[in-house]
């Protein structure tokens, strides 16, 4: 397994974690700091709530509760790296006023230096570590002590981190907790992988069931399927912190085509739009005909910049197919969920439609 790499000190990171290397380096630092015997090690309190079939969100909550009770730093969190941000999924915080759904840029984090091996996974006095002292997050909040443990998927790709912070520096005894902190990180990684596999299987079953009731004109999912997918994807996004977005399209000229060329021509326009959408989105995205000439896309695992590119591809595909449509899009957020993103995308679509109509009148 190869280590993550970056284009510069705090630049783009490849996303692959060498967990063995991190473990060795943490062990070396812990051994160099240790002046005690094994009998002086802090007692390991049993982890009480692990069980077969546990979901990743349940495990995350249990781990941060456990750590807050046995190693009470001011902040403990399970975080998600979404390619751009470090998103807080599960948080126990009495120091900074942070909570689930909060985030900061990954390039501002301390965890980027931890996973690439530039800095230790445990830093009792974080500001004595040059990379941590230079981190953007250190300019936003007071960080005296830092702990970061990677949470990785089975292919070695980074999912996020188990992260502890405190405004005050701690003693070197903090290093003695390294072995069981690594075990908790591995526990979360194993539970994550099992939960992701269950989710993949559930998605496949759902889509097979919905395909039997698809929109007869386009073969896309129908409005009832859309509502079901919105609810299911909302639950999954809250569990894993997956980024996502909603795109809404309304064909501009459908009523005019129906009125002048007949309903059959209107149907052909709708089918052409559906084909463009199917050819443009990824296999994991959800495309539905919501009614009339209105379509919706739930784009999974995309950050806002990627959603912009998706919309650009849809516009290009429509132009090539002779289809005209107003398009709105909005990112998923923890606070608003997919229902909020859908409402924002609809509003953006109607705003674009009004602009296009005003431009057409002025021309």
User: Burial, 309: exposed, middle or buried (Cβ in 10 Å; 0-12, 13-18, 19+)?
Assistant: exposed
Report whether pLDDT(163) > 80.
Answer: yes
Q: Who wins on pLDDT, 234 or 359?
A: 234
**pLDDT tens profile 95-111:** 999 999 899 999 999 99
pLDDT tens-digit map of 149-161? 999 998 889 999 9
For residues 252 and 127, which has the higher predicted lDDT (pLDDT)? 127
pLDDT band at 31 (very low <50, low <70, confident <90, very high): low
**Is a pLDDT exceeding 90 seen at residue 307?**
yes
**Above 70 in pLDDT, residue 38?**
no
Q: Can you spell out the DSSP letters for 21-64? A: HHHHHHHHHHHHH--S-GGGSPP--------TT--HHHHHHHHH
Cα dihedral 198, 200, 203, 208 in deg (nearest 10): -110
* Predicted TM-score of the model (pTM): 0.77
State the pLDDT confidence band at 58, using cuts at 50, 70 and 90.
Answer: very high
- Contact yes or no for 313/264 (Cβ under 8 A): no
- Size of the chain, expressed as the number of residues it contains: 363
- 17 pLDDT band, cuts 50/70/90, is low
Is residue 232 pLDDT above 90, yes or no?
A: no
Is residue 181 left, alpha or beta, with left meaning phi > 0 and alpha meaning psi from -120 to 50?
A: alpha
Over residues 345-349, mean pLDDT: 96
49 has a pLDDT exceeding 70? no
Q: What angle do CA 225, 227, 232 make, to 5 degrees?
A: 90
Q: What is the pLDDT of residue 87?
A: 93
Q: Packing angle between helix 254-261 and helix 263-280, nearest 10 degrees? A: 140
User: Residue 309 is encoded by which pair of tokens?
Assistant: 């590119």
């Amino acid at each position: 397994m190869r280590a993550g790499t970056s284009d510069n000190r705090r630049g783009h990171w490849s996303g692959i974690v060498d967990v063995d290397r991190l473990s060795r380096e943490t062990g070396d630092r812990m051994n160099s700091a240790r002046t005690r015997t094994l009998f002086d090690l802090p007692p390991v309190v049993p982890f009480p709530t692990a069980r077969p079939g546990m979901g990743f969100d349940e495990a995350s909550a249990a781990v941060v509760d456990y750590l807050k009770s046995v190693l009470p730093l001011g902040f403990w969190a399970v975080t998600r790296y979404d390619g751009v941000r470090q998103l807080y999924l599960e948080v126990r915080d009495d120091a900074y006023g942070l909570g689930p759904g909060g985030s900061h840029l990954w390039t501002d984090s301390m965890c980027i230096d931890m996973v690439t091996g530039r800095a230790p996974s445990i830093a009792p006095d974080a500001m004595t570590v040059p990379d941590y002292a230079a981190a953007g997050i250190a300019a936003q909040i007071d960080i005296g002590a830092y702990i970061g443990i990677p949470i990785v998927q089975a292919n070695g790709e980074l999912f996020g981190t188990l992260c502890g912070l405190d405004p005050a520096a701690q003693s070197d005894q903090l290093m003695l907790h390294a072995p069981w902190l690594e075990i908790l990180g591995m526990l979360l990684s194993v539970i994550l992988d099992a939960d992701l596999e269950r989710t993949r299987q559930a998605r496949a079953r759902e889509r097979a069931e919905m395909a039997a009731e698809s929109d007869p004109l386009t073969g896309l999912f129908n409005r009832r399927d859309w509502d079901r997918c919105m609810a299911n994807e909302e639950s999954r996004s809250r569990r894993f912190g997956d980024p996502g977005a909603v795109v809404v399209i309304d064909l501009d000229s459908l009523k005019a085509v129906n009125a002048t060329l007949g309903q059959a021509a209107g149907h052909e326009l709708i089918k052409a739009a559906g084909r463009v959408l199917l050819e443009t989105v990824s296999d994991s995205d959800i495309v539905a005909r919501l009614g009339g000439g209105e379509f919706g896309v739930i784009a999974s695992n995309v950050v806002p910049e990627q959603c912009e590119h998706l919309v650009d591809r849809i516009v290009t595909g429509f132009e090539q197919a002779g289809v005209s449509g107003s398009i709105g899009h909005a990112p998923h957020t923890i606070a608003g969920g997919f229902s909020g993103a859908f409402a924002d995308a609809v509003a953006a679509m109607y705003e674009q439609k009004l602009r296009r109509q005003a431009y057409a009148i002025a021309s």
